[in-house]
Structure 1
Amino acid sequence: MFRPLELFIGLRYTRAKRRNQFISFISSVSIVCITISVMALITVMSVMNGFDYQLRSRILGAISDATVAGLPGESVQNWPYAMKVVQANPHVRGAAPYVEIQSFMQAQRSTGALVRGIDPAQEPNVSDINKHMIAGSFDSLTPDSWNIVLGKDLAIQLGVNVGDRVTMVVPELRATPMGAVPRIRGFKVSGIFEMGMEEFDSGLGLISMSDAEKLKSINGPTGIRLKLDDLYNAGPVARELANTLGQVYEVTTWMDSHANFFSAISMEKKVMFIILSLIILVAVINLISMLMMLVTDKQADIAILRTLGSTPRSIMGMFMVQGVLVGFVGIGFGVTLGSLLSWQLPGIVKWIEHVTGVVFLSPDVYYISEVPSKLDWHDVTWVALTTFAFSLLATLYPAWRASRTQPAQALRYE
């Protein structure tokens, strides 16, 4: 005989044509509800992963994973030694010196901006701004050229384009026969970049590090930017470098400046997971209703099985097979459809926009103008396991009620 008996009878009940067709309908509805819930949860999690990935890529494409800096307003002491130390660390993939200047820019209009003096040959080791040039040349930032590369929105605010000139005012006074005056220097706009983030496109300019040192009257960079093999390992690496370099150097990470932003995204993702899990819980309630009606419908069968020697545990197992099978089928369809939808979602959104003429994320308003989607199999596994756990819990009470059936009472009116 087929073993185990509980699985055989549970599957037989699933395949058998019931007297009450309404139970079959509720069973189908339960499968559909679980499928839709799992599909929706996987799709939403994938979209949130996509936004997180896009924001992380754009932000970390302009800032460094970690930074070694000296005292505020001063150059890094013995910076060649600091470069050797950081490059010797096995977790550091690239390092580049820089000079940071807070400035006020004037052209057709005026605005404040952060100006970063860089070495174009070493900067690609720690950022990918050179890959986001929309006009001009990134390599134009040569020593004594007095060229500047601006973010797209910053160039618009100043009313300049490639070839135009801007005047930079550095709020650091110097003594002259006419008294203390700020440092002023003219620059030629030699390039424009667009990172897709307001923070950088509207407030960042790049010049040659040599020009920045002369403008700031220092000898050497104000810091060293680092690219790590794992950005989530920035904290331990920073502590290790701080211990090696000593107290005259300050080591900070991207977590110090943007930790709250990414923590908010992570928290939002967790909250969305909890909220959408409630949809799965509602779908599971249908499963409980279906099993309760099935137990009522099979009272006579349960009584006969009990008189033939089936134990309460065996009866309970037969009806748990029913609920688990419905949950398993719903999860299977939901994972398959949800994965396919997440994979093709950007194309589907574009098609809907083309057909309806409605733009979901307007480039004039949002810096991420396309709906991103990044399928994470870790999230898919969690969704499947959570749904399976809900389905398993939903079977316990109906199965327990079935195991408590008294044969004499159930057969009295048969």
Structure 2
Amino acid sequence: MMLSFTLFTAIRFSNIFRKKNVFSPMSIISTFGIILGVIVIIVGLSAINGFERELNNRVLSIVPHAQIYTVNQPYHNWQFVEKIIQKTPGVLGVSIYINFIGILEHKSNLKAVQIFGISQKKQNQVSNIQKFILSNQWKNFVSGNKTIIIGNGIAKTLNVKIGDWITIMLSNNNSVNIQSNKRIRVHVIGILHLNGLLEHEIALIPIKDAQEYLNYKNSITGFMIKVSNLFEADKIAYNAGIKTMQHVIIKSWIDDYGYMYNDIQMLRSIIYLIMILIIGIACFNIVSTLIIIVKNKIKDIAILRSLGAKDIHIRAIFLWYGLLNGFISALIGIIIGVLISLNLTIIFKKLEMIIKTNILSSNIYFIDFLPSSLQIIDIIYVLITTIILSLLASLYPAHRANKLDPAQILR
């Protein structure tokens, strides 16, 4: 009974207050402040979630979680070591690889890249690289045919397409004359589409071909490892490296890309802090609004008192008023924020087209678009935070209204 009475009275106060057009600029600022704050927070968190998703699905699905390679290259007699690593707890998959720097040449265009010699069969155990290559191209990735798959950024730099032939120039350790360096003609059978920095840096060839080009015979550079827990990659790789009983170098994705994850988490924390500050400042403007309401409704409060309304009723009316103001403002902000977040990538692309500038260049960043991933839990956090801050902001005006003496007011 009390709940319906206080809520109904708060709604009536709100409606009458609007009809009389006595809203102060502070009230308008507080309402729009909450709406704007909620929009910014939801869009910001969606973008951060999107970056984290792309880091996991695009970068960490391509690069190995960990690598183990010998100090003295190349790695001979590696077969028994592979079995040892596979049996290490936490290791899900192992693949051998060869890694070297080469210069790709097509006509007058040159590009220095990291070339990975990989096993098509074993690579599927440690990465999802085939997701970013057309299936028929991946099937043709076999040794003996002098094939190569290059990143889309490399293809644009060299101005090549699928079916073209390019040259790999390998350094000759016995000469400083580039003309005497080894030159190998290879056939481009696939393009790696990663929409980011990696597609400007890496090329793939079959491991058997890499062994032939480098005169490695049956030797390799090292092992790529996929682990069960990304954040324990260092520990799992270390345990595997110790078990080899050899002089090896142990490396994980954290060494090269850990800063990205740390930056994302830091930005998430900053956005949460900004959320509290923006919404908090806007909500506490409700204090001024409610104080004005108390002054304007002082006679109505006195009448309610004379009709038997208790302290708890008066307090609840103004708490409800502040709560409704915060909730409705947050709801409007959430609706707008969700609509923007769901179309954020498209909006960002349109903005780049208008200003004719690539804000996120694939030459610099690990992705060249603004991702968005809307999560329900973030919306719930924002709504709860807004409601709590609105209630806190309503406490003082509610207490002040509760202290009014009806006898003096009606006298």
Which category describes the TM-score, using the shorter chain as reference length? 0.7 to 0.9
| Cα offset, 1:276, TM superposition | 5.1
Root mean square deviation of aligned Cα: 3.9
Judging changes above 3 Å, is the alpha-carbon distance between structure 1 residues 12 and 254 closer, same or farther for their aligned structure 2 residues? same
Residue-by-residue CA offset, 1:285-327 (whole Å, 9 max, x unaligned): 4422221112222334445666788765664333212212222
Amino acid at match of 1:195: H
Partner in structure 1 of residue 78 of structure 2: 79
Q: Tell me which of 203, 209, 213 is aligned to 2:207.
A: 209
Q: Secondary structure at the match of 1:103?
A: strand
Alignment partners' CA distance in 1, 2:245 and 2:318 = 67
| Cα offset, 1:117, TM superposition | 0.8
Partner in structure 1 of residue 354 of structure 2: 358
Judging changes above 3 Å, is the alpha-carbon distance between structure 1 residues 293 and 242 closer, same or farther for their aligned structure 2 residues? farther
Partner in structure 2 of residue 164 of structure 1: 165
Partner in structure 2 of residue 266 of structure 1: 265
Partner in structure 1 of residue 383 of structure 2: 384
Alignment partners' CA distance in 2, 1:159 and 1:361 = 21
Partner in structure 1 of residue 46 of structure 2: 46
| Cα offset, 1:209, TM superposition | 1.3
Per the normalisation by structure 1, the TM-score is 0.79
Judging changes above 3 Å, is the alpha-carbon distance between structure 1 residues 82 and 298 closer, same or farther for their aligned structure 2 residues? farther
Alignment partners' CA distance in 2, 1:133 and 1:202 = 15
Alignment partners' CA distance in 1, 2:87 and 2:24 = 67
Alignment partners' CA distance in 2, 1:237 and 1:359 = 47
Partner in structure 1 of residue 8 of structure 2: 11
Q: Secondary structure at the match of 1:73?
A: coil
Deviates more, 1:394-403 or 1:15-24: 15-24
Q: Are residues 1:60 and 2:56 paired? A: no
The count of aligned residue pairs is 400
Q: Are residues 1:193 and 2:194 paired? A: no
Q: Secondary structure at the match of 2:117?
A: strand
| Cα offset, 1:45, TM superposition | 2.0
- Partners of 1:148 and 1:191 within 8 A in 2: yes
Percent identical residues: 26
Gaps of 5+ in 1: none
Alignment partners' CA distance in 2, 1:398 and 1:229 = 55
Q: Are residues 1:128 and 2:124 paired? A: no
Q: Secondary structure at the match of 1:22?
A: coil
| Cα offset, 1:155, TM superposition | 3.9
Amino acid at match of 1:111: K
Q: How does 1:8-407 map to 2 (within 5 A)?
A: 8-16=5-13, 17-18=15-16, 21-22=20-21, 30-31=30-31, 33-71=33-71, 73-75=73-75, 79-88=78-87, 91-108=90-107, 109-133=109-133, 137-158=137-158, 160-161=160-161, 162-170=163-171, 172-173=173-174, 184-197=182-195, 199-218=197-216, 219-242=218-241, 244-246=243-245, 248-275=247-274, 277-303=276-302, 315-346=314-345, 358=354, 365=361, 371-407=370-406
Judging changes above 3 Å, is the alpha-carbon distance between structure 1 residues 294 and 94 closer, same or farther for their aligned structure 2 residues? same
| Cα offset, 1:92, TM superposition | 3.9
| Cα offset, 1:55, TM superposition | 4.6
Q: Secondary structure at the match of 2:317?
A: helix
Q: Secondary structure at the match of 2:205?
A: strand
Alignment partners' CA distance in 1, 2:307 and 2:335 = 42
- Partners of 2:299 and 2:409 within 8 A in 1: yes
Q: Secondary structure at the match of 1:226?
A: strand
Per the normalisation by structure 2, the TM-score is 0.79
Judging changes above 3 Å, is the alpha-carbon distance between structure 1 residues 69 and 140 closer, same or farther for their aligned structure 2 residues? same
Alignment partners' CA distance in 2, 1:267 and 1:314 = 44
- Partners of 1:114 and 1:203 within 8 A in 2: yes
Gaps of 5+ in 2: none
Alignment partners' CA distance in 2, 1:304 and 1:13 = 15
- Partners of 2:88 and 2:239 within 8 A in 1: no
- Partners of 1:37 and 1:279 within 8 A in 2: yes
